[in-house]
Amino acid sequence: MDLNRKSLGLGNKPALVLVDMIEGFTNPECPLGCDCPDVVAANAELLAVFRGANLPIFFTTVVFHSDDQARVFRERVPALNALTPDSHWVKVDHRLVMRDGEVLVEKQWASAFRGTDIDEQLRARGVDSLVVTGLSTSGCVRATAVDGLQHDYRVVVAKEAVGDRNMEAHAANLFDMHAKYADVLPMSDVLSDIDKRTE
């Protein structure tokens, strides 16, 4: 039986949170990566619209500065050890170049909220809701969406702007997030909502 849930949509001031759209995850040459040009293109489209509306934009990356950071996580997934400060893999995908005023949040865990100051930065900008995108749907996107809700933000996941190495996991997690934690919406709905704010 489905849960009774209400679609909340976005609030008065949404921010775009691009979760781990970095070379290590968008380039299949990296053990952590996948070939996802459609997801990159969708994020580029969202970036353009959020920039046009002068709304806050946050990128996240995963960087490990010492051996004791996320030790058990890295024991489970040794490929994460490639994500060091001097690595090309931790840089934002070259097709999604950051601009002045946009924020890069370094994290060591799945959620963009865990061990970072993103909540303080969002609140300082008056943000009340999030459009969450990026990689991967079943991992860092889901963790960020759940934590976004747990920090009392309305959360929208832009369906075409998230991806996963496993399509079954992708579909299952979109279903589950939409059931409990976020509104999973088509890109067209998100773009239309943001476009209306510039009229």
Write out the catalytic residue numbers: 140
d(CA 50, CA 116): 23
DSSP 92-131: BPTTS---TT-EEEEESSSSSSTTSSHHHHHHHTT--EEE
CA distances from 153 to 42, 72, 118, 122, 140 (A): 23, 29, 12, 10, 17
Tokens representing 180 are: 């409990």
What type of residue sits at position 17? V
Edge-first strand order for the sheet with 183-185 is 103-107, 57-62, 14-19, 129-135, 154-163, 183-185
